Structure 1
Amino acid sequence: MNNYPNFYNPQNIGSLFYPDYGAIAAAAEAANLPPAAQDKQNVHLVVIDMQVDFCHSNGSLHVPGSVGDIQRLIEFIYTHADRITNITCSLDSHLPHQIFHAAWWADAQGNHPAPFTLISYEDIKAGKWRPLVDPVWSTNYVKKLEEQAKKVLTIWPYHVMIGSIGNALDPELFSAVMWHSLARKTQPTWLTKGSIPLTEHYSIIQPEVPVPNHPLGGKNKAFLDTLADADVVLIAGEAESHCVLETVEDLVEDFSAKPDALQKIYFLRDCTSPVLHP
């Protein structure tokens, strides 16, 4: 029989509601778990972008299967809370004017591209699409993206906008993260990414193309050091095909010179799903 907190309701996953902080705090105290500081093994759970816009059916960039992913992750947290030392949740966080949004681009007639339009360097040279913001950087960016990341710029629907409901973590998952924090006497870490207008930022480790002189424009060395200090790193989140995949690739690249470090990374395969877009 599962021993989940009494406030937990899996039927709430994928819906909007106000978590009952008092009930969460009471249940956390009643759990009587040891403080995370006493853990002999440092287990760090990394939750990638399990936000309303990605995980709710009416979200602007819904990932099919994400509600089930969240339920399995929540129940994993409750089942193994006494062994999970730290939880980091990333929040993809965007502004209206960014290089992957429609407002940044137009065709010769002034029309903005539709969601999921692909813009190549050849398209720009041919005049099919033109950047309305920072033309030199934007053109070079698309070229670098093709040369370095081997991909074409995708125009995404407006999603996880800063200040919007869509930017928030799913409320039932938030409740689990808060419960764990109070029960284990450890602060959760909230890692925001994706708000640099000049670049995409799928991975939580680094942007697609570095932005010189921007404090968040390069590799997140501090977070990599945090993961390096852990004994076990568990990774879950959305979407498997984009932000999760690129995060794992960056971790493998960074830890490649340290085989022992690679062995401590675990991917929770039943807590992630791919997006069905480019």
Structure 2
Amino acid sequence: MPELALFVPPLFWVNPAGEHPLPLTTITLQKVEEGYWQPNPQLLSSLPLGNLASLRTYARHYGAQLAAKGRFPLMIWPYHSMLGGIGHALVSAVEEACFFHTVARQQQTRIELKGSHPLTENYSVLRPEVSHDPQGRPLGAVNRALIEHLLAGDCLIIAGQAKSHCVTWTVADLLREIQQRDVQLAQ
């Protein structure tokens, strides 16, 4: 599930009444610590965690990491942009532009998939929201190859779904990279 972390859809979470959160529910660290929202134990066989205690520890860790970064709390999204589905496909006008670019510039269009671990979100195409599990093991890394590729260009057009999250954090992450290298270039 490269685009969508497993714990972001409603299925991952369950409350004491056995109900899953509705899409666009915010799950705060406080609600996890209070036990109102807990990981769904039925998903253990689908996750790289051994037991329910580890899953609960991970859920608390993830919420704490998001809170510490000050970006977004955990948001439950409707199912969208699933790899292989129509929501993940390029709209025809973008696909046509990619073909035109390939022919006109004689250069292959580069398609990037964001996110590859079911236990972390990737709002930005450049980095995961949480990069390590509670034991310090990596969940995902900064996409240095893509950053270098983007910074080698003369002009960038960044577009996508969810300007409030994915596009915004991709631009912010790229701008941070630019500012670390050359403040004048950021202007």
After superposition, give the CA deviation of every residue in 1:16-68 in whole Å (9 maximum; x if it has no partner): xxxxxxxxxxxxxxxxxxxxxxxxxxxxxxxxxxxxxxxxxxxxxxxxxxxxx
Q: Which residue of 1 aligns with 2:15?
A: 107
Listed as ranges, the matches of 1:25-64 within 5 Å are none
Contact 1:131 1:139 (C-alpha < 8 Å) held by counterparts: no
Distance 2:176 2:81 in 1: 28
Per the TM alignment, residue 213 of structure 1 is displaced from its structure 2 partner at its CA by 3.4
Distance 1:166 1:231 in 2: 30
Q: Which residue of 2 aligns with 1:179?
A: 100
Contact 2:127 2:143 (C-alpha < 8 Å) held by counterparts: yes
Per the TM alignment, residue 227 of structure 1 is displaced from its structure 2 partner at its CA by 1.8
Does residue 218 of the first structure (1) align with residue 141 of the second (2)?
Answer: yes
Per the TM alignment, residue 195 of structure 1 is displaced from its structure 2 partner at its CA by 3.8
What is the CA RMSD across the aligned residues, in angstroms? 1.8
Per the TM alignment, residue 261 of structure 1 is displaced from its structure 2 partner at its CA by 3.0
Does residue 243 of the first structure (1) align with residue 166 of the second (2)?
Answer: yes
Structure 1's 190 and 227: CA in aligned 2 closer, same or farther, altered over 3 A? same
Does residue 94 of the first structure (1) align with residue 4 of the second (2)?
Answer: yes
Distance 2:68 2:174 in 1: 21
Q: Which residue of 1 aligns with 2:24?
A: 116
Bigger relative contact order (CA 8 A; separation at least 6): 1
Distance 2:179 2:109 in 1: 27
Residue identity over aligned pairs, in percent, reads 35
Q: Which residue of 2 aligns with 1:261?
A: 185
Per the TM alignment, residue 188 of structure 1 is displaced from its structure 2 partner at its CA by 0.2
The alignment's TM-score, normalised by the length of structure 2, stands at 0.82
Contact 1:119 1:152 (C-alpha < 8 Å) held by counterparts: yes
Q: Which residue of 2 aligns with 1:154?
A: 75
Q: Which one-letter code corresponds to 1:241 in the other structure?
A: S
Q: Which residue of 1 aligns with 2:112?
A: 191
Pick the structure with more helix per residue.
2
Distance 1:150 1:237 in 2: 19
Contact 1:106 1:129 (C-alpha < 8 Å) held by counterparts: yes
After superposition, give the CA deviation of every residue in 1:241-261 in whole Å (9 maximum; x if it has no partner): 111110111011111131233
After superposition, give the CA deviation of every residue in 1:191-237 in whole Å (9 maximum; x if it has no partner): 001342111111111011113434xx011111111122223333233
* Total equivalences in the alignment: 168
Per the TM alignment, residue 148 of structure 1 is displaced from its structure 2 partner at its CA by 1.2
Contact 2:131 2:138 (C-alpha < 8 Å) held by counterparts: no
Contact 1:146 1:152 (C-alpha < 8 Å) held by counterparts: yes
- Unmatched tracts of structure 2, length 5 or more: 45-54
Q: What SS class does the counterpart of residue 16 from structure 2 fall into?
A: coil
Distance 1:173 1:142 in 2: 36
Q: Which one-letter code corresponds to 1:196 in the other structure?
A: H
Q: Which one-letter code corresponds to 2:28 in the other structure?
A: S
The alignment's TM-score, normalised by the length of structure 1, stands at 0.57
Pick the structure with more strand per residue.
1
After superposition, give the CA deviation of every residue in 1:147-206 in whole Å (9 maximum; x if it has no partner): 113421100001111221221011222122112212221100000013421111111110
Distance 1:227 1:162 in 2: 23
- Unmatched tracts of structure 1, length 5 or more: 1-91, 264-278
